[in-house]
Amino acid sequence: MKKIALVHLFFKTSLMTQLPYRINFVTQALSTLFYFGSGLIGLRIIFTHTDSLAGWTFYEIVTLLGVYQLIAGILAFFVMENVENLPDKIVDGHLDETILMPENTQFLSSFGSCNVWAITDILLGIGIMIGSIFLNLDQLTLTSFQFIVQLMQFFVLIGCSLLISYSVRMWIGTLGFWLGRTGGGFILFTSIWAMGKYPVDMYPPFFKWLLYTLVPVGVVASIPTYVLFNGMGILPFMGLLFLTFIIYLFTNSLWKMGIRKYSSAAS
């Protein structure tokens, strides 16, 4: 309950600090539209020559783009800026105030401030998802029971995607306790992460393996979208939940080990 109150508080304070800078809203909205629009145009061109790409239809890939945008938006809204600032805060000794607050330090370091203008990504992502579900009702409603199961699995897997994406970024940030300024890791990860806005199945085998394992971008957007349209067996579904849980536990342990190394450089 306190954590929800704190996230609400961080949102409110971020809103208070960011609302006066309206131009940022315009640039963020334009950037969201441009990013999504360019992806859509590229797809349209490809689909004038084919009906499917690695087994995915045009609408399925547009939905995937929407899911990708939604996940990227939620992360950018709540945690991205905080996690990406972590290495500098660690090196410059700016975690002192956070450490002395009577609340989980990993939570406070992840949610300190919100990028409220990332709401444009979230809204666009939700819009595309809803639109896609309605446009594809005939494909989705084999039986209403199956439809509900697929929808539930989809939302649970979106939750897993958020946790996994947060965790991988947090690993890069936390490595700052040992390696110093690890900001370059975020640039590398973001470049690979961008590959997740298309179906991972269309990449060559090595990249496919990489995107399902070491940098699990494939798990992040492709799998939830696939599950929305095709469903998933109970065993692989439970396996994904278990994998997410392990990744999350590892993230927590890495943070706890790192915080012990903190040397508070500033006086």
Partner 1 sequence: MIYVDDVKKTYVVPVRESGIKGALSSFIKRDKKEIAAVKTISFEISKGEIVGFIGSNGAGKSTTLKMLSGILHPSDGAISVMGHTPYKRAPEYLKKIALIRGSKPLFAPADLTALDALQMQRIIYDLDYKSFTKDLNRIVDWLGIEPYYKKPLRTLSLGERMRCGLACSIVYNPEVLFLDEPTIGLDINAQSRIRHFLNEYNRETNATIILTSHYMEDVTQLCERIMVIDQGKLLFDGNIDYLIESLTPYKLIVFTPDHGSTHIPWDRYGVVEHEMNGRITIRVANHQVPAITGRLLSDCSILGLTVENPPFESTIEQLYKAEVV
- Tell me which residues touch partner 1 (CB under 8 A): 2, 5-6, 9, 13, 16-17, 20, 96-97, 99-103, 105, 113, 180, 260, 262-264, 267
CB of 116 to partner 1, least distance (A): 13
Beta bridge partners of 53: 56
Closest CB to partner 1 among residues 95, 164: 95
What gap in Å lies between CA 54 and CA 27, rounded to an integer?
34
CB of 11 to partner 1, least distance (A): 12
What gap in Å lies between CA 166 and CA 250, rounded to an integer?
12
Radius of gyration over every alpha carbon of the chain, rounded to an integer in angstroms: 20
Instruction: Tell me the H-state helices in 79-213.
Output: 80-92, 96-99, 105-111, 119-135, 137-140, 144-174, 176-179, 183-193, 205-212
Closest CB to partner 1 among residues 21, 245: 21
Asked if 53 contacts 200 with a C-beta cutoff of 8 angstroms, the reply is no
What residue type is assigned to position 249 of the chain? L
CB of 97 to partner 1, least distance (A): 4
What residue type is assigned to position 129 of the chain? M
Asked if 105 contacts 98 with a C-beta cutoff of 8 angstroms, the reply is yes
CB of 76 to partner 1, least distance (A): 18
**Side-chain-side CA neighbours of residue 128 (13 Å):** 25
Closest CB to partner 1 among residues 57, 85: 85
Angle among Cα 115, 31, 78 to the nearest 5 degrees reads 20
CB of 102 to partner 1, least distance (A): 4
CB of 254 to partner 1, least distance (A): 17
Closest CB to partner 1 among residues 12, 44: 12
Closest CB to partner 1 among residues 49, 260: 260
Closest CB to partner 1 among residues 57, 105: 105
Asked if 43 contacts 58 with a C-beta cutoff of 8 angstroms, the reply is yes
